[in-house]
Amino acid sequence: MKQIILLLTGIWVSIIAVAQSAGDIAIIPQPVTLEIKNARFVLNNQTRIAASSKSADVQRVIRYFTGQVNRATGYSLAVQPAAAKSNVISFVLNSKANTTLGKEGYSIDVTATGVQVTANEPAGLFYAVQTLLQLLPNEIESHSVMKKSACGTPVTWSIPGVHIVDYPRFAWRGLMFDVVRHYFTKEQVKQYIDEMVKYKYNVLHLHLTDDQGWRIEIKSLPKLTEVGAWRVDKVGTFGTFTPPADNEPRTYGGFYTQNDIKELIRYAAEHFVNILPEIDVPGHSMAAVASYPELSCTTDTYRVNSGEKFMQWTDTGFYALKDNTLCPANEKVYEFLDKVFTEVAQLFPFEYIHMGGDECAKNFWEKSDAIKQLMQRENLKDMHEVQSYFVKRVEKIIESKGKKMMGWDEILEGGLAPNAAVMSWRGIEGGIEAAKMNHDVVMSPNSNTYIDLMQGDPVIEPPVYKTVRLKASYQFEPVPDGVDAKYIKGGQANLWTEQIYNMRHAEYMTWPRAFAVAEAVWSPKEKKNWNDFTRRVESQFNRFDVAEIKYAPSMYDPIFDVSKEGEQLKVTMSTEVEGLDIYYSFDNSFPDKFYPKYTQPLIVPKDAVNLKVVTYRNGKQIGRQILMPVAEIRKRADKKK
């Protein structure tokens, strides 16, 4: 009888161990395959590292891993040439390539006695390390030695027993960082790289030029940074500032020297990231024409934009209040761009240069005699063909430097340049059109991947013109139906920074939506599961708390849908995340779990001024207190009429 009891007890302990292991595992992006084993490997100060290769890249990956382990645990994991039989973590490059894994794939095997990480290339080992770190307790993200967890218990540095085989769905897994609208230092860009590689991103798209600044040194054109990198310092809601006075000092800004760029490229390469430079032309060029006014089609006094309004957006399009374009009819423009792209191409090893091409206001071109002469000479029918003429000439310049050209989907208008790749941002339609023309495409639709947009209700989020919630980002699918997948290079999330003044807010806007995009471009499409994803997101939040990285808790906030029943206002609420309870008040006090619980649409009391709401889970507050003015409810309801 005792033997039976012991056997049953052992089975029960094993079941609990497996269940605990499953509950601990919250990897983003989701691996291709993950098999849970009935074992755990415990990391300690006697754990050793073994490597099958002495290559510099492999050794750098090992130092990356042991450095983070040392910071959080205090353990110094020694690297030994010969593998011990137990308590060892082995990094192995396949002597014969595993075709399933490709260049960036890997496998991980964790047993009670050790861990083996295997890949074809050092990049695969690097991505395996990101997964391995996510398998360790949250405290591994600490910047200092952690003896105890947040709940006060001693930290056990254990890794659940798993067999993982993983590789990316797409080769292009990008994040765009706008360093123009607000300037971010070289060290902050490195910090962004540190954070993005944890989720297996491998392309950093740097938006380097725009109306609000020129951020890269071009030695043959010194005014670009002497003049173009600086503007009047203003704080508030970008795009609504008063125009600067002539005598206001231009003290805000900065730029990256060519040595800075080389340093960033080296740092990125050490983290298996390529940097895509963007020089945005012919629109978005106020900083360039402020530096060299002769590049414009118009005669005016130009200044780097400081956040004052200079574009007018309408239901049917947009036009410029002040000319911010380079002139396609001016040969000096192409001489200027030849100098710019010569130096950019020499700096950046990545195969592509992004030339922008988006949101080019053409109303000043329409008035230009030089443009009219160009149209007659080149037989151009309209302004779209004028821009296409410009884009095709830019492509020739970029290709003459040994690079390929990429642009936003507006470069399709008027005729696509012969070899151009398209980054589709105005939905996916431009990407579909380009792919059907056999051009390479990176999908980046603003409906899913624009992480500068609000991620919750405007009454609580920093104001931007539109909302993209986490669920919308998770619904991102890079390959549309009916499109040959071979032309879809991958996908990208874009962080524009008009309303982002500092690194903490950049983090808030990036995470968790960049988790969703990371999963869309790495994990198999068929593995998508929203409820499981949100479980893993919450686990990552705990890791970010330890790492002191900021994130948005917007997924816990209610979604408001308002309408009218006769003259009465009706409010319907829902949540992105399952299992949340909403409590509310109309009496101006702060609701908690003892207030009325939302169970059905609310009719707003006649004289109420504010609706306040908060979400709870299992009796604990999880969402933010949100104040929704009744005036705002009425405004939204009236718009629906």
Q: What is the mean pLDDT of residues 49-60?
A: 93
- pLDDT reading at 535 higher than 60: yes
pLDDT at 460 over 60: yes
DSSP strand pairing (318-320 vs 311-313):
antiparallel
pLDDT (0 to 100) of residue 641: 72
pLDDT digits (tens, 9 = 90+) for 212-250: 999 999 999 999 999 999 999 999 999 999 999 999 999
User: 3-class DSSP state for residue 200?
Assistant: coil
Which CATH number applies to 557-639?
A: 2.60.40
Does residue 14 have a pLDDT over 50? no
How confident is the model over 264-278, as a mean pLDDT?
98
Please compute Rg for the chain using Cα positions: 27
Nearest 10 degrees: Cα torsion 365, 368, 371, 376: 130
Residue written as token pair 């409906």: 447
Distance CA 391, CA 417 (A): 7
Q: What is the pLDDT of residues 96-107, one digit of tens each?
A: 999 999 999 999
**Over residues 500-527, mean pLDDT:** 98
Q: Tell me if the domain spanning 2-166 has CATH number 3.30.379.10.
A: yes
Tokens of residue 125, six digits: 């080992």
241 contact partners, CB below 8 Å, separation of at least 6: 234, 306, 307, 308
CATH homologous superfamily of 174-438+498-508: Glycosidases (3.20.20.80)
Mean pLDDT over 155-176 rounds to: 97
Which pLDDT does position 15 carry in this prediction?
A: 41
Whole-number pLDDT of residue 11:
41
| Rounded Cα gap, residues 518 and 19, in angstroms | 27
pLDDT at residue 16 greater than cutoff 60: no
> Above 80 in pLDDT, residue 552?
yes
pLDDT higher than 70, residue 629? yes
Say how far residue 633 (Cα) sits from the centre of its chain: 32
Q: Is the dihedral of CA 239, 460, 530, 523 positive or negative?
A: positive
Structure tokens at 571: 């409010």
Active site residues: 210, 284, 359
What φ, ψ does residue 78 adopt, rounded to 5°? -75, 140
pLDDT of 24 reads: 76
Length of the chain counted residue by residue: 641
Question: According to CATH, where is 3.30.379.10 located in the chain?
Answer: 2-166
More confident site: 193 or 9: 193
Mean pLDDT of 393-401: 98
Whether 205 has a pLDDT exceeding 70, the answer reads yes
pLDDT per position as a tens digit, 62-87: 999 999 999 999 999 999 876 668 99
Residues of the chain with CATH 3.20.20.80: 174-438+498-508
pLDDT band (50, 70, 90) for residue 21: very low
- Tell me how far apart the alpha carbons of residues 442 and 575 are, in angstroms, rounded to a whole number: 31
Please report which confidence band the pLDDT of residue 17 belongs to, taking 50, 70 and 90 as the band edges.
very low
How far is 622 from 576, CA to CA, in rounded Å? 13
Asked whether the beta carbons of 611 and 586 are under 8 A apart, the reply is: yes
Q: d(Cα 12, Cα 244) in Å, to the nearest integer? A: 72
Q: Across all residues in the chain, what is the average pLDDT?
A: 95
482 Cβ neighbours under 8 A, 6+ residues apart:
432
Q: What is the pLDDT of residue 80?
A: 84
- Give the residue range(s) of CATH 2.60.40 domains in the chain: 557-639
Q: Please, which pLDDT band fits residue 204 given cuts at 50, 70 and 90?
A: very high
Task: Name the residue with tokens 């095997």.
Answer: 109
CB distance 73 to 43 below 8 Å: yes
Mean pLDDT of 12-24: 46
The pair of structure tokens assigned to 257 is 């020297």
User: Among 11-20, 85-94, 352-361, which is the least confidently predicted range?
Assistant: 11-20
pLDDT at 199 > cutoff 90: yes
Average pLDDT, integer, range 359-369: 97
Tokens of 78: 């020694």
Contact 524, 478 (CB under 8 A): no
